[in-house]
Structure 1
Amino acid sequence: MGQAEADQAAGAPAGPLSAELLHRMHGYWRAANYLSVGQIYLRANPLLERRLTRADIKPRLLGHWGTTPGLNLLYVHLNRLIVEQDVDMIAVIGPGHGGPGLVAQTYLEGSYTERYPAIERSRGGMERLFRQFSWPGGIPSHVAPETPGSIHEGGELGYALAHAYGAAFDNPDLVVACVIGDGEAETGALAASWHSNKFLNPASDGAVLPILHLNGFKIANPTVLARIPEDELASLMRGYGYEPFFVSGDDPMIVHQHLAATLDTVMHRIRAIQHHARSGTEPSVRPIWPMIVLRTPKGWTGPKIVDGKPVEGTWRAHQVPIADFEDSEHLVQLETWLRSYRPEELFDGNGKFLAEFASLAPTGHRRMGSNPHANGGELMLPLTLPDFRAHAVAVATPGCVKAAATATLGGYLRDVMALNLATANFRLFGPDETASNRLQAVYDVTGKTWMAETRPDDTDLSTDGRVMEVLSEHLCQGWLEGYLLTGRHGLFSCYEAFVHIVDSMVNQHAKWLKTTRSIPWRRPIASLNYLLTSHVWRQDHNGSSHQDPGFLDHVANKTADVARIYLPPDANCLLSVADHCLRSRGYINVIVAGKQPERQWLGIDAAVRHCTIGAGIWEWASDDGDPEVVLACAGDVPTLETLAAAMLLRDYVPDIRIRVVNVVDLMVLQPQKAHPHGLDDRAFDAMFTTDRPVIFAFHGFPSLIHRLAYARAGHHNFHVRGYKGEGTTTTPFDMVVMNDLDRYRLALDAIERVPRLKDRVPAETARYWAMMERHKLYVAEEGDDLPEVRDWQWAR
C-alpha cells in the first residue's frame, strides 16, 4: 500500500472493511478502471512499459467513460458480498454503454478468458482485450451478448429493471443486482418497472436489488432525479414501495466504507424478508424491499479539466473525455490519466493481475460473468407439454361447426400450466387481457400474480399465481425476456394493435438472438412467443384506435434466422402452431388468431399436416384440374372471405375452375435462399402456378405479401387485398368492405383477371356496386350485417 493510500485508509470512517481489505478492493477498482480506459484508447503498449505515442492510440475513439467507474465500483463491492455471504447473484446493467467496465471486470475475474481463450491474462491478452473494443471484427462498446454474465443488451435504455424482475421470478435463490442509470430512469418503461415489486413473491421468487446510480448527467444535459432534493427522491422511492438507502461522495475511501456497510444492511434486509416469507407461519404479504441510491461523479477518477473546461463531474465525461491527439498535450494528459491508476502495482511484468487483488473475486459459477443464470440455456428444462390433439375441435365437414380459436387454445394452455407447476417453468404474460382474449381456462389451475392489497370482490388473484397481468406492454415484454434469458418459458398474449408499444424491445431481443447464434458458449433459450388476438378485423366495436396489423411487417423485417409468423385459419391449426412454438428455441414466433366464434375448417389431423408444410391447396374447396384463378388467403377472416368469394364465383360463373390456397406460415412465401421455411420453387409454383391470376386475401398490409414473394416466378400475377388503414366503429363485415377485402370485391377481382370473363366485367362491376349500396344502407339502418353475410355457411 502506498503511503498516500495508507493515510487515506487510516483516515476513512469506521466500516466493515479492514484497512487491508479496503486497500485490496481499491486496487481492484483501480485495475478495472485502468482496463476500461485502455479499451477506449489503446491499441498497443498495454502496460505503459514505454512512453505513450500517437501510434499507441486507436484511430477511432469510441466508448463511454462517464458511467464506467461507478459500474466498476459496484462490481467490486458486489463481488465482496458474493464471497462473504455466498450469494448467487447476477448483475443487470441498465447503463449498458458502460461496456468497457463489464468487460474489464469479467476479464479480471477470469470469466472472459474462459469464454475467449485468446484473451489470456497476460501482456498479449491485455493488448488483444484493448484492441478488440469498438474495433472492426471485435466487440461492441456496449454490454452485449458477447459480454459474459450479461442478459441485458446495453444499446437501449429503459428495460433493465423489468429484465431483472423477469430473471428473479421462480428463481428463489437468485439475487439480481440491477444498476439503473439516472438517464435511463427518465424513460417511461423504467418508471413503470418500479411497480414490479408488487408481483415478486419473497416465498418463491428471488430478490431484485435496484441500484439507482446518479452521476448527474446524460449525454449533454442534467438528469431529473439527480437534480431534485434528496428527501423528494426518497419519497418517490418510498411511494414505489421501496426502502431507499443513500450512498454518495467523491472520496473513494469514504465511499468504499459507506457502500460496503450499505450492501451488508440491504442484504440482511433481503434475507430477513425471504426468511419470514418462507417460514410458512403467515400468509405471504408484500414486503418493503430495499434499494440503493448511489451518487458519484460522472467520469470519476478521469481528467478533471481538458482544454480549460471541466470534465469530471460534468456531461463532458459521458463518452471520450480526451479525443484530439493531434494536440501533443492531450497525449501527455492521457498518459498521466492512465498512470494515475499505478498499473505497475496491479499487474506483474507479464501482465497478470496480482494474486493479492485477484483473490478477491468469487470463483466458479459464483463469478457474475460465469453464473449460469446469465446463460439461461445452460439451465433450461424443456416444457412438459400435453397432447394438443386432446383439445381439438371435432370437424366432420369444413365449416360445419363454430368455435373460438383462442378459447380452444386456453384449454391447452391450462394443461401446459398444470403440467409445469412443479418445475415453475412457465408463465403467461399479458396486459390485463387474459380473460378478454378468451384464455381464462388457465385460472382453473393458477391465478394472477398479485402481492398488493386484495379486496373481497377480487377474482383469480394469488400471491403464487403464474399469470402475469399488468397494464404495461413494456413490463410484460421485459419480464418475459428476463424470464426466457434465464432459462424458462412463456407466452405473451396481447391485443394486436397495442403490441406495437414494444416494437423497439423486439428489435433488441431479435438482435440478441441473432448475435448469440454465432457465440458458441451461449446456449439456446426458449423462443419469445406472441399470441396476437382481438385483431384488426374483429375490432369493429372499438374503432380505429384498436385496428392495426402492422406488427407483422415489423417482425418480418428481422433476420430470417429469428423471425417466424403464423396465421392459423382455425382453432385446430392454432393448437398445432402453438405446440410447435412452445417447443422451439431461439426464435421470435408471432401467432395471430381470433377470439370470436368462427367457422372451423380442418380436423386435427388435416390441421397438423397443413401446418407442418405451412401452406397448401385446400382440395375440398378447389376444382379439379388446371385452375383459371387461384384464391389465396392468410388469416382467419381473410380465409372466411376467400371461401365465401369462391362460392360467389361458382354462383356467378358455374364452370369457373378455382383453386383455394391457404397460408399458415407466412415465411413459406419467401424463396428458400431467403428463409429456411420458404417453399422450394417447384412446390411454390405447383401451388400458386406461374401464369394464373392469384387473388390473395391477407390479414395485414398488402405490401408485405409482395415483399415476401417478389422473387417468385409468378409474383407478377399476385393481386393482394388486405388492410389499407381504413377503419372505424362499425360492423365486422363493414370492416372488410372498407378495406376491399370482402368476398364481393375478391370475386370481382377474380373475374377482372380471368381472360375469358373479360366481357362480363361491366355487368359484374355493376352487380358489385349494387351490393355495396345495399350493404351500406342495411348497416346504417340496422346496425348489423346483412343476414346472408352474418349467417353465411360454406357449401359445395
Structure 2
Amino acid sequence: MDNPDLIVSVVVGDGEAETGPTATAWHGYKFIDPAESGAIFPIIHVNGFKISNRAIYGTMDDLEMAALFTGYGYKVRFVEDLANLDNDLAASLQWAVDEIRAIQKAARSGNPIIKPRWPLIVLRTPKDLSGPKHLRGQFIEGSFNSHGVPLLNANKDDEEFAPRPEINTIIPEDASLRMGQRKETYNGYQPLDVPDWKKYTVKKGTQDSCMERIGEFLHDVIEANPKTFRIWSPDELISNKLGAVLRERGRNMQWDPSPVSPTLASSKSCRTGLFPSYESFMGIIHTMMVQYAKFMKMAREVPWRNDVSSINYIETSTWARQEHNGFSHQNPSFIGAVLNLKSSIARVYLPPDSNCFLSTIAHCLRVKNYINLMVGLSLPEEAERHCIAGASVWKFASTDEGVNPDVVLVGIGVEMTMEVIAAVALLRKKVPELRVRVVNVTDLMILAPHSLHPHGLTEEAFNTLFTEDRSIHFNYHGYPLELKGLLFGRPSLDRVSIEGYNEEGTTTTPFHMMLCNRTSRFHVAAAAIKGGTVVNPKVAVVDHELVSGMLHEAESYKKYAFENGEDVEGV
C-alpha cells in the first residue's frame, strides 16, 4: 500500500490456502486503491499434497478452481504445461503485469474500472518438482514424502549429496534484483508526527466517552500523517465510538455499490498500523499477531534490517460490558497471547481513564519494534506521570493518602479500578479503622521481575509501591492465571490474592458481571478486610461479621439484577 509502482507476488501453497486467514485474504484486494497503491498478485501453487494428506485445492479440477476464484472476483490463468513450464510461466507473469498496469492506469487517469478483476495464476506442478525422483525405493517427487527434508543424510551420503551447480546461476548479480535485498522489504518505516495528546484531554467532572476522545485524537493523527498511518477495523469504528476518523476520509473499500455508504476516498497508509476491535474477536487474529511478533524478533537480530513499525491493538467492548452480546463475547484471552511473547517486544496497557488512554496511545504510536495492546476505555500532567511510571498510588482513594496501610488494593482495567474505588468508599463507612492503599496499574509488564522484562519493577521499587509485608489484592481485567505468571518470582506471594475474569456471565447488567466474577466492590472489600486482619487487631475482631455482611449484600444485588433485569439504581 502507498507504493504505487510496487507489485508483490505472493505464492500460496494449496495447503496454506485452506487456512482461515488465507481463505479470507482473497478479498484483500477489495481494500487496495489502484490509484494510490501497488498490487498483490497471487500465485496458487497446487502441488496436491500437504504434510501427509491431499490438499483440498489439489482435488479440484480447473473448472472448479476457475469458478471459485472467478466468484472471488479474479481473472484466472492456469500454468500447467510441464513440458514448457518456464515459457508458460514467463508469459503468464507478463500477462499479469499487463492486467495490473491497465487497472492502475485507468484509476490514475480518473476513469477507474468498477470492480476490476485482478489477475491470479494457478500453477500446477508435481510436489517437489526438480527434486529427487525417488530414494531407496520411496517416491519423493509427486508425493507427500517430499514435504519435509527428504534427504536427511546429504552431509555424509554420496547418493543423497548431489548439488546442481546451475542453481547458483539463477541468483542475480545485481543485489537490487534479489527479493530479500529490495529496500521495500526492510526500509519502509517512517516515524509519525503525533499531535500533543494533552489538547484532547477530559476535564474533571465531565462525562466524555473515552473512545470519542481517542477518535478525535486519531482523526488529527490521520490528517498529520496521510501517507504513514492506517487504521484497520473489521466493522466496529462507529460502534466503538471512533467515528471521528471518518469525518473527512471514508473507509478504503473499493467494492461498494451502495449509495448510502460513507465516502470512499482515502489516503490512509500502512507504515504504522492501528487495529481496534471487540475484545472477543481479537482471538481470531491471535496467530497472525504471533507470527508478526516472531518476524519482528528476528528482524531486530539482523544487523542490516532497519526498524519496523509497531503494530497497535485496541481492545474495546470488553467482557465487563456485555449487556447485549453475552457469554459468547466475553473473552479477554488476547492479553495472555501478548504476555507470552518475547519480553523485549510485548507491551500490555490498561489505562484507567480517558487521559491515561490518550497518553498511552500517543506513546504507542511513537515507538517502534513493539506489539502494543491497549485495553479499555486526573489532569493531563497527572495522567502522563502515571503512565510513564506504569503504576502509582492513587492518594485520593487511599486512607491517609496510602501511608502505612494494612492492605493494598490494586485495580487493573477500567471497571476493575472503579470497583476498587467503590470498595474503599464502602470500607470507610463499614470499617473506618482499616487503612487502605489503592494502586492502579496501567502498564501490566511492571509486575514482572525486572530480570525478566525491561519494564519490570526492581524488588526495591516493587516493595515501595506494594509494601514489603502487607496483603495485596488484585482486581484484574483478564484471567487471574496471567497475573500469577507475571508475579512468579516475587517474594512473599502468599500475601497475594487475585480476582479477574473467571468465565462467568451471560447477557446481563454491568454490575451483575462484576458480581458473577467476584470482582465487585463487595468482593474487593471482603478481600481487603481478610487481608487487614493480619496486621490490624481492631479489624480482626469484626472480620467474620463484616465479610459475611459484604457477601450477603453481594448476593442481594445479584438477585435484584436477576429479577429486575437492571442493576440497583446508582450502583
Q: Residues 741-783 of structure 1: CA distance to partner in whole angstroms, max 9, x if unpaired?
A: 0001111111122122122122213322431242133213321
Q: Residues 188-236 of structure 1: CA distance to partner in whole angstroms, max 9, x if unpaired?
A: 2111111112111111110111111111211122222222121111111
Match for residue 393 of structure 1?
A: 202
Deviates more, 1:571-580 or 1:386-395: 386-395
1:516 to partner: Cα distance: 2.1
Using a 3 Å threshold, how does the CA distance of structure 1 residues 620 and 323 change in structure 2: closer, same or farther? closer
Match for residue 178 of structure 2?
A: 367
Q: What is the alpha-carbon distance in structure 2 between the residues aligned to residue 762 and residue 510 of structure 1?
A: 49
Deviates more, 1:563-572 or 1:291-300: 291-300
Using a 3 Å threshold, how does the CA distance of structure 1 residues 702 and 318 change in structure 2: closer, same or farther? closer
1:520 to partner: Cα distance: 0.9
Q: Which amino acid aligns with 2:301?
A: S
Determine if contact 2:272/2:309 at 8 Å carries over to the other structure.
yes
Determine if contact 1:243/1:290 at 8 Å carries over to the other structure.
yes
Q: What is the alpha-carbon distance in structure 2 between the residues aligned to residue 420 and residue 626 of structure 1?
A: 49
Q: What is the alpha-carbon distance in structure 1 between the residues aligned to residue 16 and residue 252 of structure 2?
A: 27
Q: What is the alpha-carbon distance in structure 2 between the residues aligned to residue 324 and residue 668 of structure 1?
A: 48
Provide the secondary structure at the position in 1 that maps to 2:556.
helix
The answer to whether structure 1 residue 412 and structure 2 residue 217 are counterparts is yes
Q: Residues 391-433 of structure 1: CA distance to partner in whole angstroms, max 9, x if unpaired?
A: 10011xxxx3323211110110011011112xx1111011101
Using a 3 Å threshold, how does the CA distance of structure 1 residues 203 and 325 change in structure 2: closer, same or farther? closer
The answer to whether structure 1 residue 210 and structure 2 residue 36 are counterparts is no
Q: What is the alpha-carbon distance in structure 2 between the residues aligned to residue 392 and residue 719 of structure 1?
A: 34
Question: Which of residues 646, 649, 652 is equivalent to 2:430?
Answer: 652
1:547 to partner: Cα distance: 0.6
Q: Residues 41-70 of structure 1: CA distance to partner in whole angstroms, max 9, x if unpaired?
A: xxxxxxxxxxxxxxxxxxxxxxxxxxxxxx
Question: Which of residues 240, 245, 253 is equivalent to 1:450?
Answer: 253
The answer to whether structure 1 residue 604 and structure 2 residue 436 are counterparts is no
Q: What is the alpha-carbon distance in structure 2 between the residues aligned to residue 654 and residue 319 of structure 1?
A: 69
Provide the secondary structure at the position in 2 that maps to 1:734.
helix
The answer to whether structure 1 residue 243 and structure 2 residue 26 are counterparts is no
Determine if contact 1:180/1:213 at 8 Å carries over to the other structure.
yes
Deviates more, 1:577-586 or 1:650-659: 650-659
Determine if contact 2:249/2:265 at 8 Å carries over to the other structure.
no
Using a 3 Å threshold, how does the CA distance of structure 1 residues 678 and 309 change in structure 2: closer, same or farther? closer
Provide the secondary structure at the position in 1 that maps to 2:384.
helix
The answer to whether structure 1 residue 787 and structure 2 residue 569 are counterparts is yes
1:527 to partner: Cα distance: 0.8
Q: Which amino acid aligns with 2:254?
A: M
Q: What is the alpha-carbon distance in structure 2 between the residues aligned to residue 764 and residue 175 of structure 1?
A: 69
Please list every run of 5 or more consecutive structure 1 residues that lacks an aligned counterpart in the other structure. 1-168, 348-352, 468-482, 595-601, 790-796
Q: Which amino acid aligns with 1:316?
A: N
1:714 to partner: Cα distance: 4.3
Q: What is the alpha-carbon distance in structure 2 between the residues aligned to residue 439 and residue 683 of structure 1?
A: 37
1:362 to partner: Cα distance: 6.7
Q: What is the alpha-carbon distance in structure 2 between the residues aligned to residue 385 and residue 323 of structure 1?
A: 53
**TM-score normalized by the length of structure 1:** 0.69
Q: Which amino acid aligns with 1:179?
A: V
Determine if contact 1:450/1:465 at 8 Å carries over to the other structure.
no
The answer to whether structure 1 residue 221 and structure 2 residue 53 are counterparts is yes
1:450 to partner: Cα distance: 1.1
Provide the secondary structure at the position in 2 that maps to 1:695.
strand
Q: Which amino acid aligns with 1:437?
A: N
Deviates more, 1:363-372 or 1:573-582: 363-372
Using a 3 Å threshold, how does the CA distance of structure 1 residues 697 and 320 change in structure 2: closer, same or farther? closer
Match for residue 191 of structure 2?
A: 382
Q: What is the alpha-carbon distance in structure 1 between the residues aligned to residue 355 and residue 422 of structure 2?
A: 20
Provide the secondary structure at the position in 2 that maps to 1:334.
coil
1:378-527 paired onto structure 2 within 5 Å = 378-395=187-204, 400-421=205-226, 424-458=227-261, 460-464=262-266, 466=268, 483=270, 488-527=271-310
1:343-358 paired onto structure 2 within 5 Å = 343=165, 346=166, 357=169
Question: Which of residues 743, 767, 770 is equivalent to 2:521?
Answer: 743
Using a 3 Å threshold, how does the CA distance of structure 1 residues 766 and 302 change in structure 2: closer, same or farther? closer
Provide the secondary structure at the position in 1 that maps to 2:439.
strand
1:655 to partner: Cα distance: 2.9
State the superposition RMSD in angstroms. 2.0
Q: What is the alpha-carbon distance in structure 2 between the residues aligned to residue 639 and residue 324 of structure 1?
A: 60
Select the structure with the greater relative contact order (CA < 8 A; seq sep ≥ 6).
1
1:533 to partner: Cα distance: 0.7
The answer to whether structure 1 residue 276 and structure 2 residue 106 are counterparts is yes
Determine if contact 2:475/2:500 at 8 Å carries over to the other structure.
yes
Determine if contact 2:322/2:509 at 8 Å carries over to the other structure.
no
Using a 3 Å threshold, how does the CA distance of structure 1 residues 248 and 454 change in structure 2: closer, same or farther? same
Q: What is the alpha-carbon distance in structure 2 between the residues aligned to residue 315 and residue 711 of structure 1?
A: 46
Question: Which of residues 541, 557, 568 is equivalent to 1:775?
Answer: 557
Determine if contact 2:449/2:456 at 8 Å carries over to the other structure.
yes
Match for residue 587 of structure 1?
A: 370
Q: Residues 353-382 of structure 1: CA distance to partner in whole angstroms, max 9, x if unpaired?
A: 6xxx46x8372434322111111xx23221
Determine if contact 2:515/2:558 at 8 Å carries over to the other structure.
no
1:629-778 paired onto structure 2 within 5 Å = 629-755=407-533, 756=537, 757-778=539-560
Q: What is the alpha-carbon distance in structure 2 between the residues aligned to residue 535 and residue 573 of structure 1?
A: 18
Q: What is the alpha-carbon distance in structure 2 between the residues aligned to residue 426 and residue 284 of structure 1?
A: 26
Question: Which of residues 334, 344, 363 is equivalent to 2:160?
Answer: 334
Q: Residues 499-520 of structure 1: CA distance to partner in whole angstroms, max 9, x if unpaired?
A: 0112222222222222222211
Q: What is the alpha-carbon distance in structure 1 between the residues aligned to residue 176 and residue 194 of structure 2?
A: 31
Q: Which amino acid aligns with 2:549?
A: R
Q: What is the alpha-carbon distance in structure 2 between the residues aligned to residue 552 and residue 369 of structure 1?
A: 33
Provide the secondary structure at the position in 1 that maps to 2:513.
helix
Deviates more, 1:773-782 or 1:218-227: 773-782
Q: What is the alpha-carbon distance in structure 2 between the residues aligned to residue 183 and residue 419 of structure 1?
A: 42
Using a 3 Å threshold, how does the CA distance of structure 1 residues 284 and 592 change in structure 2: closer, same or farther? farther
Q: Which amino acid aligns with 1:276?
A: A
The answer to whether structure 1 residue 543 and structure 2 residue 322 are counterparts is no
Q: What is the alpha-carbon distance in structure 2 between the residues aligned to residue 185 and residue 552 of structure 1?
A: 28
Q: What is the alpha-carbon distance in structure 2 between the residues aligned to residue 684 and residue 324 of structure 1?
A: 54
Q: What is the alpha-carbon distance in structure 2 between the residues aligned to residue 274 and residue 518 of structure 1?
A: 37
Determine if contact 1:201/1:463 at 8 Å carries over to the other structure.
no
Using a 3 Å threshold, how does the CA distance of structure 1 residues 615 and 325 change in structure 2: closer, same or farther? closer
1:307 to partner: Cα distance: 3.0
Question: Which of residues 101, 114, 119 is equivalent to 1:285?
Answer: 114
Q: What is the alpha-carbon distance in structure 2 between the residues aligned to residue 283 and residue 209 of structure 1?
A: 19
Q: Which one has the largest radius of gyration? A: 1
1:531 to partner: Cα distance: 0.3
Between the aligned residues of both structures, percent identity stands at 41
Please list every run of 5 or more consecutive structure 2 residues that lacks an aligned counterpart in the other structure. none
Determine if contact 1:670/1:709 at 8 Å carries over to the other structure.
yes
Provide the secondary structure at the position in 1 that maps to 2:43.
strand
Provide the secondary structure at the position in 2 that maps to 1:750.
helix
Number of residue pairs the alignment of both structures matches: 565
Q: Which amino acid aligns with 2:367?
A: S
Using a 3 Å threshold, how does the CA distance of structure 1 residues 707 and 333 change in structure 2: closer, same or farther? closer
